[in-house]
C-alpha cells in the first residue's frame, strides 16, 4: 500500500473531506427510482451501526480530515435515536447537514437548529400531488410542500432535489424553476441514475442538455445566468435574472464530475463505499467491533477508488445492467 500520510487521499490526487452517512435502510416513502416495489432485503438490526459506532467511525474520519458530514438514509429522521446521533456528531468540528424527504421534518426544527444543522436537502419530484403519490407510492405531498416552506421560513438553507424522469416530470422543469422566483431555495435537477432494482433505462434519463433546452425555450437567453460553482460542487448552477432562488443540474450520467469528487459514503450497516457507483465495499463495522483500528481499511478503500464512476467510465459501461446492478439499491446507499 502507498504510504501516504493522508489516508483520505486517493491515487488520483483527490482528497476526501466529505462523508455521507446513511443512518437507516428504511423509509416512510417508496420512491420508484430509489427502491423496488417489493422493498429491499434489510440488514438484521444487530448489523446496523449504533449511535456510538456512528460517532466513533465519524470521529476517525474527522481526525483524518473530514470537515463535512451529511446524514442520509433511507429516511434519516425516522431513526428513533436521531436526536442523540445529532447531539454526538455536533460535538465534532464539522459542518453537519441532512438530506430528508421532509415528511416529518417539522417535528425536528428545534433539534436541528440546536445542533447547528443549517443545510437541508429535500426530495420533491413533482409539484402535482397526484404525481407525487405516483412516484413515492405515498400521499404525503401536502406535508412535504408545507415543510419546505417552513424550513425556509425558519432560516434553513434549502435545496430541493428533483430526480427527472422523461415523460413523467420533465414537463415540470419550468414550474420548478418558477418555484425559485420568490423562494430563496436551490432546485437541483438530478439525472436519473441506474442502481440495483430501479428499472433504469437511459431513455428515461433527462440529461443536462435536455434541461437547458427546456430553460432556453422558456426564458430569454440574457435572463439565464450561469453561476460560479463552488469547489467540489456536483452541480452546474444557474439563476433566472430577478429570481430569489437558483437552480442547478446534477449530471452524473451525461457529465460526471468525478475529477473533483471529495465524497465517501458510509452505509447504515457500516460499509464504506468509496464511490456512489462502487461495486465493492469495505467493512468498517466488523473491524470496529473486533476492537481493531479501522484506519488501514479506510486507507485501502480510498486507494482503490476508480477515477470515474466506480470504473464505469463510459456511458456504454454505465448502461450495462451487469455492471450497474453490481451495487446496492439507492435506498441503502443514501445518495
Ligand atoms: N430519504 C431522503 C431523501 O429522499 O432525500 C434521503 C435518502 S435519498 C436515497 C437521497 C437522494 O437520492 C434523494 O435526493 C433522491 O432523490 C436521490 N435518488 C434516489 N434514487 C436515485 C436515482 N436512481 N437517481 C438519482 N437520484 C436518486
Ligand atoms: Fe425514501 Fe428518499 Fe428513497 Fe424516496 S428517495 S424512497 S424518500 S430514501
Q: What distance in Å separates the CA atoms of residue 58 and residue 47, rounded to the nearest whole number?
A: 17
Between 335 and 272, whose confidence is greater?
A: 272
Eight-state DSSP code of residue 37: T
For ligand 1, atom 11: residue with the closest CA? 335
Under 8 Å between Cβ of 71 and 97: yes
DSSP string spanning 196-247? TTS---GGGBPPHHHHHHHHHHHS-GGGEEEPPPPTT-SEEEEEETT-SSEE
Q: Given a cut of 90, is residue 179 above it in pLDDT? A: yes
pLDDT, tens digit (0-9, with 9 covering 90-100), for 255-275 = 999 999 999 999 999 999 999
Residue-wise burial string across 96-105, b where 16 or more C-beta atoms lie within 10 A, e elsewhere: bbbbbbbbbb
Distance, in Å, from the CA atom of 36 to the CA atom of 276, rounded to the nearest integer, reads 18
Q: Ligand 1 centre and the CA of 121: distance in Å?
A: 10
pLDDT (tens digit per residue) in 194-204:
998 898 999 99
Instruction: Give the pLDDT of residue 2.
Output: 41
Chain centroid offset of residue 67 CA: 17
Q: How far is the CA of 260 from the centre of ligand 1 (A)?
A: 21
Is the pLDDT higher at 266 or at 3?
266
Work out the mean pLDDT of the chain and round it to a whole number.
Answer: 95
Q: What is the structure's pLDDT at 287?
A: 98
Distance from C-alpha of 192 to C-alpha of 165, rounded to nearest angstrom: 6
**Cβ atoms < 10 Å from Cβ of 13:** 8
Nearest ligand, CA of residue 158?
1
Residue 37: nearest ligand to its CA? 2
CA 113 to chain centre: 21
- What is the pTM (predicted TM-score) of this model? 0.96
User: Does the beta carbon of 54 sit less than 6 angstroms from any atom of ligand 2?
Assistant: no
pLDDT of the residue at 120: 98
- Determine the pLDDT at residue 39: 87
Question: Does the C-beta of 178 come closer than 6 Å to ligand 2?
Answer: no
What is the C-alpha to C-alpha distance for residues 25 and 267, in angstroms, rounded to an integer? 9
177 CB under 6 A from ligand 2?
Answer: no
Using pLDDT thresholds of 50, 70 and 90, give the confidence band for residue 4: very low
The DSSP H or E segment spanning 145 is helix 141-153
Report the DSSP beta bridge partners of residue 159.
121, 186
- State yes or no: pLDDT of 1 exceeds 60: no
Residue 321 parent element (H or E): helix 321-324
Cβ of 248 below 6 Å from ligand 2? no
pLDDT class of 99 with cuts at 50, 70, 90: very high
120 vs 106: CA distance, rounded Å: 12
Q: What is the pLDDT of residue 217?
A: 98
* Separation of alpha carbons 154 and 157, rounded Å: 9
Predicted confidence band of residue 5 (pLDDT cuts 50, 70, 90):
low
Closest Cα to atom 22, ligand 1: which residue?
A: 193
Atom of ligand 2 nearest to the CA of 99: 2
Q: Looking at the predicted structure, is the pLDDT value of residue 3 above 50?
A: no
Amino acid at each position: 500500500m502507498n504510504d501516504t500520510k493522508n489516508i483520505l487521499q486517493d491515487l488520483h490526487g483527490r482528497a476526501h473531506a466529505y462523508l455521507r452517512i446513511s443512518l437507516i435502510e428504511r423509509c416512510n416513502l417508496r420512491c420508484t427510482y430509489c427502491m423496488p416495489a417489493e422493498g429491499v432485503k434489510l440488514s438484521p438490526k444487530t448489523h446496523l451501526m449504533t449511535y456510538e459506532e456512528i460517532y466513533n467511525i465519524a470521529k476517525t474520519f474527522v481526525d483524518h480530515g473530514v470537515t463535512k458530514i451529511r446524514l442520509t438514509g433511507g429516511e434519516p429522521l425516522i431513526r428513533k435515536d436521531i436526536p442523540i446521533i445529532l447531539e454526538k456528531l455536533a460535538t465534532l468540528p464539522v459542518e453537519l447537514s441532512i438530506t430528508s424527504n421532509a415528511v416529518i421534518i417539522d417535528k425536528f426544527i428545534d433539534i436541528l437548529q440546536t445542533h447547528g444543522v443549517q443545510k437541508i436537502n429535500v426530495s420533491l419530484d413533482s409539484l402535482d400531488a397526484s404525481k407525487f403519490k405516483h412516484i413515492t407510492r405515498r400521499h404525503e405531498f401536502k406535508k412535504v410542500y408545507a415543510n419546505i416552506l417552513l424550513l425556509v421560513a425558519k432560516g434553513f438553507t434549502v435545496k430541493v432535489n428533483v430526480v427527472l424522469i422523461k415523460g413523467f416530470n420533465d414537463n415540470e422543469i419550468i414550474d420548478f424553476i418558477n418555484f425559485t422566483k420568490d423562494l430563496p431555495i436551490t432546485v437541483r435537477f438530478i439525472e436519473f441514475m441506474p442502481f440495483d432494482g430501479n428499472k433504469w433505462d437511459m431513455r428515461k434519463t433527462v440529461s443536462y442538455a435536455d434541461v437547458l433546452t427546456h430553460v432556453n425555450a422558456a426564458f430569454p437567453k440574457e435572463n439565464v445566468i450561469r453561476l460560479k460553482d463552488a469547489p467540489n460542487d456536483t452541480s452546474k448552477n444557474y439563476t433566472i435574472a430577478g429570481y430569489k432562488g437558483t437552480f442547478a443540474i446534477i449530471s452524473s450520467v451525461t457529465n460526471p464530475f468525478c475529477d473533483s469528487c471529495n465524497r465517501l459514503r458510509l452505509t447504515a450497516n457500516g460499509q464504506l463505499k468509496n464511490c456512489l457507483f462502487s461495486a465493492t465495499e469495505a467493512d468498517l463495522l466488523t473491524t470496529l467491533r473486533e476492537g481493531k483500528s479501522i484506519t488501514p481499511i479506510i486507507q485501502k478503500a480510498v486507494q482503490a477508488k476508480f477515477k470515474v464512476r466506480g470504473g464505469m467510465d463510459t456511458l456504454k459501461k454505465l448502461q450495462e445492467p451487469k455492471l450497474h446492478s453490481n451495487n446496492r439499491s439507492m435506498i441503502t446507499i443514501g445518495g
